[in-house]
Structure 1
Amino acid sequence: MRVLGMISGTSHDGIDVAVVDFALAGTTLHGSLRHAACIPYPPALRARLRAALPPASLTFAEVCTLDTLIGQAFADAASAALAVAGKVDLICSHGQTVYHWVEAGKVHGTLQLGQPAWIAERTGTPVVSDLRARDVAAGGQGAPLVALMDTLLLSGLPGRPAALNLGGIANLTIPTHPGAFPALAYDLGPANALIDAAAWRACGAHFDRDGELAAAGRIDPDLLAALLAEPYYALPPPKTTGKELFNLAYLESLLSQRNLAAVDVVATVTALTAEIVAAEVKRHGIDTVIASGGGCANPTLMAMVRSRLDGINVVTSGTLGVPSDAKEAIAFALLGYFTAHGLPGNIPSCTGAAAPRILGTITPGRAQLRIPAPPSEPPTRLLLA
């Protein structure tokens, strides 16, 4: 089955796409990456989306408009991907998360915009979407759904490996360790969410290109201590967070009584991510960290992470055949494959759901909808090329 995976992450800079051919041999799922790209949002849409994110208040009219415009942008991105990679059997669209409703550590709801009907109408291909809601309805956090791919990819690797994603939010996946404990995955805290906010505050940049702002600044110990005092870090997993908490207003509240150079703020929030990553990696006795996400393109952040993980092997997901900037799109292609084959896409020990669930809803394409038969045994390992 050939699947197109699509997602716009918490940095809301554009739409990541990945076309993957999947073939199951026994319990090993083989995936061949045929195409990967990032299609930037049109500037006007990105500005409108940025203005709508928490802590902003919205009207239903604006929600409807954004749902339509984002859906059309995803349809454009799908069409561009198909023009390069050719026909696919299925599209899996995560859409754009705009709100994650969390109170006292419990997720009550989650909202992703990007109406899938626009994608199905444009491409004629069935679309799996709204994947997080079913896990939430089953008592889970709705995230991290990338844990499915992480656990399959890391299956059988020696030692104690873990997958680290440095997107808007940093999350960690620790696969099942035979005879010891089930798989674990959770959001550690902010990565690019606060770095981007600090870069915007410093010079109106959408992100800290090549980590240059952080490299020019100095870490402020007082601000770093205040950031590390955030109660979220002490919550036990499973747990998730997002820009509902870690946003520009959050950062400004901590800076109101401090007079710091803008580049020092960027350096300090970059160090914050490195600190929370290192603390959790060490807490779980990890010996190999396989990193992915946009944060891998920030050499200052990666240097800070490595300096705090001295003696621990830190590599990027490219060593497993997964380009670090395409990982989430590949993960949602995989989730689409699982949904189409009647396989659960969540891991209860990672999300906190009551049980495994088949995720998402399916919007039919132009042809009669045909659902493949479930495999006799679900995949236990993923090999990507």
Structure 2
Amino acid sequence: MIALGAMSGTSTDGVDVAAVQIDPDSQEMRFLGVFSAEFPPELKQVLLSLQEIPPRFAPNIDPIATLLQARKDLTDQYAGAVNELLSFLGLDSGDVRVLGAHGQTLRHRPDLGYTYQMLDGALLASQTGIDVVHDFRSKDIALGGQGAPLVPAFHQAWLNGKGVYDQTAVLNLGGFSNLTVLNGQGQALTGGDCGPANCLMDLWAQRAFSLPMDQDGEIAAMGSPDTDLLERFWAHPFFHQSWPKSTGRDDFSAQWFEQCLADSNQLSSEDIMATLLALTVRAVKSCLPVLVEQVYVCGGGARNSTLIGQLRCECAPADVLPIENLGLPAQAVEATAFAWLGVQYLLNLAGNCPTVTGASRPAVLGALHTAK
């Protein structure tokens, strides 16, 4: 069957939609294509504001109406990207069995028993003509898990299909970084979130340089990490917790970042960017088991050559390799994972990995909105 997956991450840059053909019996997968669409600046700003704690709006703005309008606008963007990919691949909606859609995370507090990925599943199904499965994280949290990361189960299925059974890890460098670690039998041994990645570097690029991101790590390469600032970052309790753990902007907010910077007036903006990059690398290294022999990298951070270079130095002797070596574009991995999760729902199969999330048992994840 053909399945689509749609994902927008914490960086709020846009939505990625991927298509994959999955054999429901063997679970063999064949990647078909990906389409990425940037969010309009107005929507991106609203999404970032909604993720702030508390949300930053003018006093006369109705926050509930703002959230509901943003949900519709976000869903419109998802639907547009889905229809663009269908057109590019020469497919009709009737050719697709399911669309697994993540939505936009606005809050993620497994410690308090809730998470919220904003999306209108009914509207998305209506606009695309495809059955939609979404709200994947809530069931795992209901079972005492972190609700994240969910992609390790997909990584296991994909890598086993490619014959990768060695001590292997998959590193996703999105707004936050997370690791999947497979043992020598190709089973998901462990995994979890490592810490912030692109989210803080993007925030600093926007504030200090009026740029959307540090393209290719060029700004960080011009600076030097500051030990004192790095230690202030590293004092965050999240870094000292053991897996299973997950994180998001709830933990690493703009307010927390500003507090850490309070005594850093003497540092150049380039040094601060270099320190944020060093924090990303340190967080990954602290979570990487010593027995891992190769690390396949995906996510937007895979295009940051300065970051990848530092990871290669710090993670040696493990080889740091592009996920493209396994036949999947870096920007398509998470979207493809949610296509797979949508199929898991239809097949009544578990989509979580309790050794990663800490849930009490494997479970079928998601909620269905039919197109009819």
TM-score range, shorter chain: over 0.9
1:225-244 paired onto structure 2 within 5 Å: 225-244=231-250
In structure 2, the partner of 1:143 is: 148
In structure 2, the partner of 1:188 is: 194
**Residue 291 of structure 1, aligned match among 294, 297, 305:** 297
Instruction: Give the Cα separation in 1 of the matches to 2:112 and 2:22.
Output: 32
- TM-score, normalised to structure 1's length? 0.89
Extract unaligned runs of 5+ from structure 2.
57-62
**Residue 261 of structure 1, aligned match among 257, 268, 274:** 268
Map Cα deviations across residues 281-340 of structure 1 (whole Å, 9 max, x no partner): 2x4421111111100000111111111122211101111111111100010011011111
Choose between structure 1 and 2: higher helix proportion: 2
**Residue 80 of structure 1, aligned match among 54, 79, 84:** 84
In structure 2, the partner of 1:169 is: 176
Q: 1:294 to 1:182 in 2, by over 3 A?
A: closer
In structure 2, the partner of 1:41 is: 39
Contact 2:165/2:183 (<8 A) preserved: no
**Residue 105 of structure 2, aligned match among 81, 94, 97:** 97
Q: 1:125 to 1:154 in 2, by over 3 A?
A: closer
Structure 1 residue 177, shift from structure 2 partner: 4.8
SS in 2 for 1:326: helix
In structure 1, the partner of 2:213 is: 207
In structure 2, the partner of 1:71 is: 75
Q: Is 1:127 the counterpart of 2:144 in the alignment?
A: no
What amino acid sits opposite 1:6 in the alignment? A
**Residue 114 of structure 1, aligned match among 101, 107, 119:** 119
Q: Is 1:218 the counterpart of 2:224 in the alignment?
A: yes
Contact 1:96/1:114 (<8 A) preserved: yes
Number of residue-to-residue matches in the alignment: 359
The sequence identity of aligned pairs, in percent, is 36
Instruction: Give the Cα separation in 2 of the matches to 1:177 and 1:67.
Output: 43
Contact 2:29/2:158 (<8 A) preserved: no
In structure 2, the partner of 1:11 is: 11
Structure 1 residue 250, shift from structure 2 partner: 1.8
**Residue 61 of structure 1, aligned match among 61, 65, 72:** 65
Instruction: Give the Cα separation in 2 of the matches to 1:331 and 1:158.
Output: 19
1:16-31 paired onto structure 2 within 5 Å: 16-24=16-24, 28-31=26-29
Structure 1 residue 107, shift from structure 2 partner: 5.0
Contact 1:18/1:35 (<8 A) preserved: yes
Structure 1 residue 238, shift from structure 2 partner: 0.6
Q: Which moved more, 1:84-93 or 1:322-331?
A: 84-93
Instruction: Give the Cα separation in 2 of the matches to 1:35 and 1:320.
Output: 15
In structure 1, the partner of 2:279 is: 272
SS in 2 for 1:196: helix
Contact 2:156/2:188 (<8 A) preserved: no
Q: 1:164 to 1:182 in 2, by over 3 A?
A: closer
Q: Which moved more, 1:221-230 or 1:128-137?
A: 221-230
What amino acid sits opposite 1:335 in the alignment? L
Instruction: Give the Cα separation in 1 of the matches to 2:168 and 2:33.
Output: 27
Structure 1 residue 279, shift from structure 2 partner: 2.3
What amino acid sits opposite 1:321 in the alignment? G
Runs ≥4 in structure 1, deviation > 4 angstroms? Answer: 176-179
Instruction: Give the Cα separation in 2 of the matches to 1:200 and 1:249.
Output: 15
Contact 1:154/1:161 (<8 A) preserved: no
Structure 1 residue 17, shift from structure 2 partner: 0.5
What amino acid sits opposite 1:22 in the alignment? I
In structure 2, the partner of 1:252 is: 258
Instruction: Give the Cα separation in 2 of the matches to 1:305 and 1:15.
Output: 26
SS in 1 for 2:44: helix
Map Cα deviations across residues 16-50 of structure 1 (whole Å, 9 max, x no partner): 0001111245xx42222222021111121111111
Instruction: Give the Cα separation in 2 of the matches to 1:153 and 1:75.
Output: 26
What amino acid sits opposite 2:48 in the alignment? R
Instruction: Give the Cα separation in 1 of the matches to 2:341 and 2:153.
Output: 8
In structure 1, the partner of 2:59 is: none
Q: Is 1:342 the counterpart of 2:348 in the alignment?
A: yes
Map Cα deviations across residues 235-260 of structure 1 (whole Å, 9 max, x no partner): 11110001112232222111111221
Structure 1 residue 158, shift from structure 2 partner: 4.3
What amino acid sits opposite 2:107 in the alignment? Y
What amino acid sits opposite 2:274 in the alignment? A
Q: 1:53 to 1:182 in 2, by over 3 A?
A: closer
In structure 2, the partner of 1:382 is: none
Structure 1 residue 128, shift from structure 2 partner: 0.5
Contact 2:167/2:183 (<8 A) preserved: no
In structure 2, the partner of 1:330 is: 336
What amino acid sits opposite 2:19 in the alignment? V
